[in-house]
Structure 1
Amino acid sequence: MANCLLLVVMIKRCTDPLKPKSSLEEHSFLITDVRFSPSMPRLATSSFDKTVRVWDADNTDYSLRTFTGHSASVMSLDFHPNKEDIICSCDSDGEVRSWSINNGSCLTCVKVFKGGATQMRFQPRKGKYLAAASEKAIYILDGETQHACRSPLQGHAKDIQSVCWDSAGDYLASVSEDAVRIWSFTSGQDGEFVNELNCSGNKFQTCVFHPAHPSLLVIGCYESLELWDIREKNAMTFNNAHDGLIAALAASSATGKVASVSHDRLVKLWK
């Protein structure tokens, strides 16, 4: 773990001031999630206004598509990793829908959860599974049909805040305020629990696998970052990363950096 951390060099630093390129202003209520397409210059947003919107990342003057049909607030969404035409979304009523970007139609509509969904993410590269968190469980859905293809992954004592896959789609991390759990999706282990990190300080909120060090999970907490090597099973805390709750993390494979956003209104990049 020590060697890995020396390589990662998680030294606190702010980038040059970030300047917005454009603003996306068509949603009428709070935006709940945003995702970039893995293969095209597109991004998509979900909102409390019950819609999903798809945008041209190079020209965001107006949305390319607006999908309506959810009867409740849309909580999360994601692009299919291998089929650039497909996007999926989930709402606070437990409904999952898939949409065709090209023709603007709803392809599937499945009632999956008893409660509302928190976050959903496609398995990278493979696209075989779609992981969706709802209350204390993770539902593993078929990436094509969005039907549950196994029993929910359970073990969290508190509601799950966030889920993320490693870049190869072999491991899934789930985060509740008191614990992070790792599930294996390597050959013959579709959803097998392999490890858990319990919170010993600030409450956990979000997580992302480091883009340059696949076994290193970066966990966002209140003011601090937790670094956990899931293979060596070692962890350390990086205090004073922000002056508020770290609400979300994102990783860039192109730059090898991790971005953090916080309630202190700052965006920081880490390498």
Structure 2
Amino acid sequence: MKILVVLALLSAVQNVILLLSETMNIEVLIWNMETFQSINTSEGHSLLITDVRFKPSSNLFATSSFDRTVKIWDAERPNKSLYKLLGHSEQVMSVDFHPSKSELLCSCDRNNEIRLWNVTRFSCTRVSKGATKQVRFQPRCGKLLATAARNSVSLIDVETDSLQFYLKGHTKDVLSICWDASGKYIASVSEDSARIWSAMSGGKCIHELRSDGNKFQSCTFHPGYSQLLIIGGYQSLVLWSPTESDKTWSVPAHNGLVAALADSQRTEMVASASHDQCMKLWK
């Protein structure tokens, strides 16, 4: 049975990894990082899963899918999802939990629609526009929501739903965005470049790195070295330290595109998932 690993996520609570794999159907695989034993969910999505995020300080996680739904799961009892959120009319591309408001979940679809959900009441609380690829709440305070749409990134005030900063500079579509742990900086990658922006300086681009043909795909800040950005490309990880004279290190990692990266602040580990059917842990 062929497994195409498309996403990975490290839990901040338990020593587990979530892998989303494409078989005949779409399912979630849960791996214990200590025993390396896996659990397959009996229920999945009917189409490709696009994103997965843990609820802060919780065993709950959410998945989004091309089947236009968002599902909520419990990592301790993963055989079946707890509930399904309906409302998107197009493929749901991304999902994220608010860092401090435990009931607040955000999702976006290919039709540029953003939805805020109350996961306690299983209801949609707001619908707006501004994201087609990815949504990520600002760490800690969650005041800002970063959204990726086409070749730009927007920073939106969560309370007022007002655009604070519009980050434009990529020539190709933005494929991945991530905040640093402090919530002061946000990184974005497109196929041909990576950029770091300062949320404290009006969304100014403060660093840029060209891919030189490597085809950047994913990114995450290193959990132990806050100024080090890890970029997933074709077969390799690029470690970029823009504060050290733009130093870069290329690490052979996979035999295919590195589709997703995830980090754990607790263990300071990084997970990479690739189209070569492999997931790897890095320390």
Q: Say whether 1:64 aligns with 2:82.
A: yes
Cα distance in 1 for partners of 2:157, 2:134 equals 16
Cα distance in 2 for partners of 1:185, 1:24 equals 42
Give CA deviations for 1:40-79 in whole Å, capped at 9, x if unaligned.
1110000111111111121112222211011111000100
The unaligned stretches of length 5 or more in structure 1 are 1-14
Q: Say whether 1:164 aligns with 2:182.
A: no
Give CA deviations for 1:210-261 in whole Å, capped at 9, x if unaligned.
0011000000000011111132243323242111110000001111111101
Cα distance in 2 for partners of 1:42, 1:158 equals 34
Whether the 8 Å CA contact 1:40–1:84 is kept in 2: the answer is no
Give CA deviations for 1:182-203 in whole Å, capped at 9, x if unaligned.
11123xx231211101112411
Whether the 8 Å CA contact 1:139–1:148 is kept in 2: the answer is no
Moved more, 239-248 or 205-214: 239-248
**Higher RCO structure, 1 or 2 (CA under 8 Å, sep 6+):** 2
Query: Which one-letter code corresponds to 1:105 in the other structure?
Result: S
Q: Say whether 1:182 aligns with 2:196.
A: yes
The unaligned stretches of length 5 or more in structure 2 are 1-32
Query: Which one-letter code corresponds to 1:255 in the other structure?
Result: T
Q: Say whether 1:128 aligns with 2:179.
A: no
Task: Tell me the SS of whatever aligns to 2:39.
Answer: coil
Task: Tell me the SS of whatever aligns to 1:21.
Answer: strand
> What is the aligned-residue RMSD (CA, Å)?
1.7
Whether the 8 Å CA contact 1:212–1:253 is kept in 2: the answer is yes
Cα distance in 2 for partners of 1:239, 1:107 equals 44
Where has structure 1 moved over 3 Å in runs of 4 or more?
15-18
Give CA deviations for 1:62-112 in whole Å, capped at 9, x if unaligned.
222211011111000100001111100000000000111111111001123
Q: How far is the alpha carbon of 1:266 from its aligned partner?
A: 0.8
Cα distance in 2 for partners of 1:118, 1:108 equals 19
Whether the 8 Å CA contact 1:226–1:235 is kept in 2: the answer is no
Out of 56, 71, 95, the residue aligned to residue 53 of structure 1 is 71
Cα distance in 2 for partners of 1:192, 1:97 equals 27
Q: TM-score, normalised by structure 2?
A: 0.84
Identity in percent: 49
Distance change (3 Å), C-alpha of 1:233 and 1:79: farther
2:281 corresponds to: 269
1:252 corresponds to: 264
Cα distance in 1 for partners of 2:74, 2:159 equals 25
| TM alignment of 1:135-146, pairs within 5 A | 135-145=150-160
